[in-house]
């Protein structure tokens, strides 16, 4: 893939301080885009921006909690005022909550819904509106319709399959998948693409910061180490997910499963959902 696909584009990436977010920000920067690296951890976002600048990109780092609607309103306004309406938005920020549904309390649900779902809603609504308004303000070009922009929402392979050990996480990611498809239909007339990217296990820090409900603090730390070790052993780098995100933007893909388990669960959800329901009953051997 050539390096100049996004020359002159402005890309906003949330959760850009690490994992898929950092890899995606750098992939877009390496292809000519200016990058706004947003994260709740500002120093991490600044490190991502520094790496992007080494690749010759411009941009800025910004601290924002995607679950905070007012903060996201302020962030979106800042992007438009200080830069302009973005051409690409990657709603990537996410957290993991694991454990039985009956042990998952209200605060745990509010936390994961706030980041994984409301974060995507805020980013899609605020920046999607900016994109649509920009398209409406431009003169019509019947021979070459204006490109309105592209929104990427990072879901998960968990969106395709029920899991008894991940009810909260799977629910939020399934909601992101459906939201993305609804939004894609709504914004198509404005030439704004929307993609749901659904990776399987990858070598990120998600497991290290995961919340495990219904267990002691000591057991939670043990589970974090076990899951992180499994993710690291899986060895699928976030850079490969970033490449799929770039490809999805270029080709305007609707739903993009990533890696073996992503494709497998996507296929089974279409041809044999009953098999997934049976698999979901198997207890996690690590709990």
The backbone region for 234, taken as left when phi is positive above 0, alpha when psi lies in -120 to 50, beta otherwise, is alpha
CA 97, chain centre distance (Å): 16
User: Please, which residues have CB within 8 angstroms of residue 162's CB and are 6 or more apart in sequence?
Assistant: 170, 276, 277, 280
Contact predicate 84/127, CB 8 Å? no
Q: At what angle do helices 119-137 and 167-187 cross, to 10 degrees?
A: 10
What end-to-end distance do the CA atoms of the chain give, in Å?
42
Which residues contact residue 118 at a Cβ distance below 8 angstroms, ignoring those fewer than 6 apart? 66, 67, 69
Mark whether 236 is an active-site residue.
Answer: no
Name the superfamily (CATH) of residues 10-138+146-279. NAD(P)-binding Rossmann-like Domain (3.40.50.720)
* pLDDT at res. 94: 97
Q: Which long-range contacts (CB under 8 A, 24 or more apart) does 29-32 make?
A: 29/55, 29/56, 29/57, 29/59, 30/3, 30/55, 30/57, 31/1, 31/2, 31/3, 31/4, 31/5, 31/6, 31/7, 31/246, 32/3, 32/4, 32/5, 32/6, 32/7, 32/8, 32/57
Give pLDDT, residue 146: 62
pLDDT tens by residue, the chain, 287 residues: 344 489 999 999 999 999 999 999 999 999 999 999 999 999 999 999 999 999 899 999 999 999 999 999 999 999 999 999 999 999 999 999 999 999 999 999 999 999 999 999 999 999 999 999 999 998 877 655 668 999 999 999 999 999 999 999 999 999 999 999 999 999 999 999 999 999 998 888 787 888 999 999 998 888 888 877 877 777 799 999 999 999 999 999 999 999 999 999 999 999 999 999 999 998 765 54
Catalytic annotation, pick one of 62, 169, 227, 236 = 169
pLDDT given for residue 226 in this prediction = 85
Query: What pLDDT was estimated at residue 287?
Result: 46
pLDDT at position 145, please?
Answer: 60
Taking the C-alpha atoms of residue 60 and residue 48, their distance in angstroms, rounded to an integer, is: 10
What is the residue extent of each domain of the chain? 10-138+146-279
How far is the C-alpha of 50 from the C-alpha of 258, rounded, in Å? 28
Is residue 221 a contact partner of residue 207, using CB atoms and an 8 Å limit?
A: no
**pTM higher than the cut 0.95:** no
| Whole-angstrom Cα Rg for the chain | 19
Q: How many helices (H) and strands (E) does the chain have?
A: 10, 9
User: Which pLDDT score is estimated for 142?
Assistant: 63
């Amino acid at each position: 893939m050539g390096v100049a696909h996004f020359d002159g584009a402005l890309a906003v990436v949330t959760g850009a301080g690490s994992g898929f977010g950092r890899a995606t920000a750098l992939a877009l920067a390496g292809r000519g885009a200016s990058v706004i690296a947003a994260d709740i951890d500002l120093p991490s976002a600044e490190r991502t921006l520094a790496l992007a600048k080494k690749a010759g990109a411009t941009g800025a780092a910004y601290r924002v909690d995607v679950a905070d609607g007012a903060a996201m309103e302020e962030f979106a306004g800042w992007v438009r005022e200080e830069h302009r309406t973005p051409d690409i938005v990657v709603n990537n920020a996410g957290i993991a909550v694991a454990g039985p549904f009956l042990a998952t309390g209200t605060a745990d649900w509010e936390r994961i819904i706030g980041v994984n779902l409301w974060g995507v809603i805020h980013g899609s609504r605020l920046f999607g509106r900016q994109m649509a308004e920009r398209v409406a303000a431009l003169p019509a070009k019947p021979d070459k319709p204006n490109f309105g922009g592209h929104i990427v929402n990072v879901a998960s392979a968990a969106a395709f399959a029920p899991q008894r050990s991940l009810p909260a996480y799977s629910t939020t990611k399934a909601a992101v998948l459906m939201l993305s498809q609804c939004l894609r239909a709504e914004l198509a007339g404005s030439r704004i693409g929307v993609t749901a990217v659904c990776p399987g296990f990858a070598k990120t820090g998600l497991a290290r910061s995961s919340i495990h409900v219904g267990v002691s603090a000591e057991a939670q730390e043990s589970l974090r180490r076990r899951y992180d070790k499994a993710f690291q052993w899986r060895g699928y780098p976030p850079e490969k997910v970033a490449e799929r995100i770039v490809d999805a933007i270029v080709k305007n893909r609707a739903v993009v499963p990533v890696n073996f388990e992503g494709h497998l669960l996507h296929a089974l959800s279409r041809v044999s959902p009953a098999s997934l329901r049976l698999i979901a009953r198997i207890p996690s051997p690590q709990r």
